[in-house]
Amino acid sequence: MTLDEFFTGHEESRPLFEALRRAIDELGPVELSVTNSQIAFRQTAHRAAFARVWLPRRYLQDRGAPLVLTLGFRQRDTSPRWKEIVEPQPGRFTHHLELWSPAEIDDEVRVLLRAAWTAA
């Protein structure tokens, strides 16, 4: 699937994705993997994704944020910005951050992206 196909019908989400992608590109070489349900960001030298984005409105009949950033850490992050944090396995915490505006991809989000990149 291409990026254009992924965002078809959800064009309002694309500028958020592009702003996030620019922040991620600052970390170093990245590969994208686009599926029907999400876009995964991987360091070029690693198989595991360090960040994922998905479109809640695709599944919630146009409710929810235009884009959600998902990051995984070995500990629970304390930022109040997370929409949800789950522990699918002991010692593995999945953090979901709703993105409504490119301005939300700020220094705090860049620090979180760097932490996920480093942990990958």
The pLDDT of residue 62: 65
Structure tokens given for 66: 């235009």
The angle formed by the CA atoms of residues 67, 68 and 70, to the nearest 5 degrees, is 150
pLDDT in tens, 80-120: 999 999 999 999 999 999 999 999 999 999 999 999 999 87
pTM: 0.92
The pLDDT of residue 3: 95
Quick one: what percent of the chain has pLDDT higher than 70? 98
Is residue 67 within 8 A of residue 20, CB to CB? The reply is: yes
Domains of the chain are 3-119 (3.90.1150)
Nearest Cα to Cα of residue 14 among 42, 44, 43, 34: 34
Is residue 109 within 8 A of residue 97, CB to CB? The reply is: yes
Is residue 33 within 8 A of residue 61, CB to CB? The reply is: no
